[in-house]
Structure 1
Amino acid sequence: MGKGVFFTSASMVLAVIITATLRSHHHETRHNPNNPSFTDFRSNASHLLRSNGFNFVATFLHISPDLFLSTPQTTIFAVPDGAISNLSLPPYMMKHFLAYHISPLKLTMQDLLRKPARTCLPTLVQRKSVGITKSDAKRGVLEINNVLITHPDLFVKGLVTIHGLAGSFASFDRQQESINLAVCETGQNKNNGKDEWGKVVKFLGSSGFMTFAIGLNSVTDRIVKDFPDLVSVTIFTPPNVALMAMSSPLLDKFMRSHIVFERRTFKQLASLSAGASLRTLVTGKHVEITESSKISHAVSINGVAITAPDLFSSKNFVVHGIARPLNIDDELSSMSG
């Protein structure tokens, strides 16, 4: 209970600071009579958000609804508390961050599932869109910017829809003090980075990681198919592992567990706090920074040390050598030694 009170209080204080920032840059408010009343909107939507672990967004929505209702139609993609905390965004950047998670369209889950993968959706950030990266209407599964919608249609009333997310559409570069917004591409005139995947495989094969290179090559086509808009990744490469003894599904899971979204150099990993999580290509699975130090130049992932940082680095890919395989669940525990 103490942690919950502290967390809510902290979010309230932060929201007050951010609200002051928002109001200083947003003097004109636009209210549309078709939108639900502020009273209903703030009470009902905020209650649903809080009860599902979206306290930060609920607080912002309650204190400054004008940002969320600045267009006739609105879809809000709520970011969970943990993801916002891990980003550690400066207050003055929060308006930009929130705007990237709001679309000036009303999009229920049914509306979203009707749209094909690679569809770009406008946001309140000028000339910036988010993209549907996975859509499975039969299972009711949908990802935007490779982030799963975990709470579809959390709130639907009038011309406002709210969906809860598993994470954030954006990332924060602490070195540059900037928010990284992914580029939404329709998929036309691009090869999904297959050439770059091939370069990584070739490099690993000629650098003493032949077994891992063979494994990566065997799953690349499936990864490209499952993540058509995957822009950048970080690969953690262990020394020789008995991959040939694995079944095809286990091999696929093993390889994906060593690949995380977004390109992160060793320096960037060292700047992350211990406990920060990195989302792998295995749905719902993360690895964690268990040690990071700029001074000692030591970084560990799930307790496994990075022994060969920045082995391979390109615009969208970076590869780090690690001491042994990563363990993300019991099924792969035998491989971690």
Structure 2
Amino acid sequence: MNSFSGVAIEAGIWLGGKSDTVLVDLGFQDFAPAAPSLPSQTAWRGLITVFTPTDSSLLTCPSCSIQVLLQEHTIPGIFPPSYLRTLAFGTKIETLASGRCITVTSANNASKVFVDGVEITHPDLFNDGLTVVHGLQGFLSLLSSYSCSVERMIGISFLPQPPNSTASLIMHLMLEEAILRLRISGYSVLAVALRVKYAELMELRTMTVFALNDVVVFSGEHEYVTNFRFHVVPNRLLMANDLEHLQAGTLLPTMDLAHDLVVTNAGGGGPLDPMRINYVKFTSPDLMYNMKMAVHGLSMPFPHLNLIAAIGMAQSERSRHEAPGWKMAGNAGIGYSMGPSYGLEWTAKIEDDHSL
């Protein structure tokens, strides 16, 4: 049995009354008695991340309420270690204790992550995509009423009530969780777009979303908001590795039924020759993902192209790469080839105008 405090949280607390347990017994004991009372004390019914202190650390505060400590150690949404490391230094996240925020910091090139100064020494003690548990080396003191004074993420459900079917319920939870994570990651415009398009997105099985951060949107790229559907590939969950393996000329249908995206440059060319969709490179591949959606960061919106011309150029470039005698660079098998002049000029223009 390990030394971390108990978290036995039932799925019924979070997933519409189901009786099966998400976490039955990790060998942690002290928080377990408080879990059943959590639903009546909080408004959140979605995915959660729990930061669990050691059993021995709880003994240092015998007068502390276990119920309050559990709320203050639990945040809405799924926050794996890899995602916590991407957060800006000092990011505040509101816990299930209303008006109380934890502060996330990192050190040593983000190799270590701290919650209110306490190191996460046992990341991903449990992670099933619905609940995440991280072990802390130490104890979080009771949070101050001023802990959310700089910035805050509201820990309440702001989407419509979840539907009854299992498939729809999962999509609802994934959208809810994505909105929460994007809001504190500098993608609040995208978070709002997901909320506004909720009814349409709920009809999808999965999705791939291409995103602009708030700085880029507010610096003048407002067409991203009006063309949001053009930046969503419905019913396909494409991670960065999947995109890298798409051939040049591959069409990607979008939610904008009148316009598709096209892979204009295939991946595998190395950092100086990355893949492009509609001649745009990615700035943050795999920015955020869960069971139903993958989000990739861009530095500019996708331009609308003449697809026939774009596909022709992409396929011509691919044929040149596959032709006998195509020169390989070093031992890496990276191919270098001069494509059609129009494609090079168009790509260069995009990069010059947007500092890619």
What is the TM-score normalised by the length of structure 1? 0.42
Q: Please tell me whether Structure 1 or Structure 2 has the larger radius of gyration of its CA atoms.
A: 2
